[in-house]
Amino acid sequence: MSELKRTALFDLHVELGAKMVPFAGYEMPVQYPMGVLKEHLHTRAQAGLFDVSHMGQVIIRAKSGNPEDARLALESLVPVNILGLAEMRQRYGFFTNEAGGILDDLMIANRGDHLFVVVNAACKQADLAHMQAGIGESCDVEMVEGRSLLALQGPQAEAALSRLIPAVADMRFMDVAILDYDGTEAWISRSGYTGEDGFEISLPDDAALKLARALLEMDEVAPIGLGARDSLRLEGGLCLYGHDIDETTSPVEAALTWAIQKVRRRGGEREGGFPGSERILRELEEGVSRKRVGLLPEGRAPMREGTRLFADDQGAQEIGVITSGGFGPTIKAPMAMGYVSADHAAVGTRVFGEVRGKYLPATVSAMPFTPANFKR
């Protein structure tokens, strides 16, 4: 593990008894002594604290000094309405390539005179290069260094965080704010990737460590590792880059069309103008041959990533593949998501996964598997 990077909270994870594993070039906690199942359920019932400092934090400023120029520039790389993104609000988006595939998914915040973008850990250097090549002539694009990123998730997240930073109680889902914590700037968004209410908090490394310790002293807050992070986001019906979405999947195939606003679609005021727009706009109108769907396997056996899917229990007609799968602690059953041919994508359709030579039944399900709990 000597070549792996460590976040500023590494020693805290070790102190808390975390099992550390390689993830996206970092040593990260996969679980704590509580165990993945209990960590998952604790987050759903109370509040879980995640170290997500491995993710990329990027600031984009227009060289002209006009913030609108930065928003327009970034629109050339994403099929998202950024020009219309209100100040101190954020939006989910994704970079697309010329073939209409997804290079990464990300969060974009309008912080007035600049944009703040959070990208996935494994993609952050490629994303930075992509932005610098695409909009570097008109914008300064810089990776933020020396700041950790914490996620506090769960129905008691607000109660916990507001003891230390009272103003977070006034925030709604997808609001962003710059607030004081112990004399330093905390960059906060009311968002996360668990399907629960919660916050993501960017702080200088020392302050982040102090905040983490203060939160963990509270009865309702427990440290949560990558294992529960994965089962929580899967129950929430949320894609994991490199698994459920990648350069070979379009946003339309991935059922992410809700993130492509009307203004960027055919006939919209700023139609297209992003990489792969020809394919993506065509698919929005004409449909696709395969779609990402939720799946509920029958019985107790999970269907893992890579499980091939068939239309019948004889394996005669292959129709797709599972991209994420596991056990859902909240729903007390196996769950999965994957891609199936469009004619097998309707909710209620029965399909069969090949597990150890047997063809086991699963039913196409609506997502999320457990209801979202955001503070609107």
* Matching residue, tokens 């070549």: 3
What pLDDT shows up at residue 350? 98
What pLDDT shows up at residue 334? 98
Q: Which residue, among 176, 354, 153, has the nearest Cα to 235 in the 3D structure?
A: 153
User: CA 107 to CA 85: how far, in whole Å?
Assistant: 12
Summarize pLDDT for 222-266 with one digit per residue, the tens.
999 999 999 999 999 999 999 999 999 999 999 999 999 999 999
Residue 312, pLDDT above cutoff 60? yes
Contact 93, 84 (CB under 8 A): no
Q: How far lies 204's CA from each of 7, 95, 305, in Å?
A: 12, 27, 36
What average pLDDT does this structure show over 159-166?
A: 98
What average pLDDT does this structure show over 265-292?
A: 98
DSSP 93: E
Concatenate the DSSP letters of all residues of 205-251 into one string. HHHHHHHHHHHHTSTTEEE--HHHHHHHHHHTT---BTTTB-TT--T
Question: Distance between alpha carbon 324 and the CA centroid of its chain, in Å?
Answer: 14
Q: How far lies 137's CA from each of 39, 104, 144, 288, in Å?
A: 45, 22, 19, 36
How many CB atoms neighbour CB 194 within 10 A? 27
Concatenate the DSSP letters of all residues of 35-67 into one string. -HHHHHHHHHHSEEEEE-TTSEEEEEEETTS-H
Residue 343, token pair as written in the block: 């004619």
What pLDDT shows up at residue 23? 96
pLDDT, mean over the chain: 97
Domain 289-376 has CATH 2.40.30.110: yes
User: CA 323 to CA 249: how far, in whole Å?
Assistant: 12
Q: Strands (DSSP E) along the chain, which ranges?
A: 19-23, 26-31, 47-51, 56-62, 89-96, 102-110, 115-119, 139-143, 147-153, 176-181, 184-189, 198-204, 221-223, 290-297, 308-310, 318-328, 333-341, 350-355, 358-365
Question: Distance between alpha carbon 236 and the CA centroid of its chain, in Å?
Answer: 10
The pTM of the full predicted model, rounded to 2 decimals, is 0.96
Summarize pLDDT for 113-143 with one digit per residue, the tens.
999 999 999 999 999 999 999 999 999 999 9
Contact 134, 77 (CB under 8 A): yes
Task: Break the chain into its structural domains and give their ranges.
Answer: 10-50+146-235, 289-376
Residue 177, pLDDT above cutoff 70? yes
Tell me: cis bond preceding 275? Omega within 30 of 0 counts. no
HSE at residue 260, side-chain half, CA atoms within 13 A, is 29
The SS3 call for residue 280 is: helix
Q: Which residue, among 353, 355, 351, has the nearest Cα to 365 in the 3D structure?
A: 351
What pLDDT shows up at residue 376? 81
Share of the chain above pLDDT 70, in %: 99
User: CA 35 to CA 32: how far, in whole Å?
Assistant: 6
What pLDDT shows up at residue 2? 62
Summarize pLDDT for 1-50 with one digit per residue, the tens.
469 999 999 999 999 999 999 999 999 999 999 999 999 999 999 999 99
Query: Is the alpha carbon torsion for 242, 255, 264, 288 positive or negative?
Result: positive
Contact 67, 264 (CB under 8 A): no
Contact 235, 368 (CB under 8 A): yes
Share of the chain above pLDDT 90, in %: 98
- CATH ID of 10-50+146-235, from 3.30.1360.120, 3.90.700.10, 3.30.565.10, 3.30.342.10: 3.30.1360.120
Listed in sequence order, the residues at least 6 apart from 217 whose beta carbon sits closer than 8 Å to its beta carbon are: none
The SS3 call for residue 277 is: helix
User: CA 208 to CA 257: how far, in whole Å?
Assistant: 35
User: CA 251 to CA 104: how far, in whole Å?
Assistant: 11
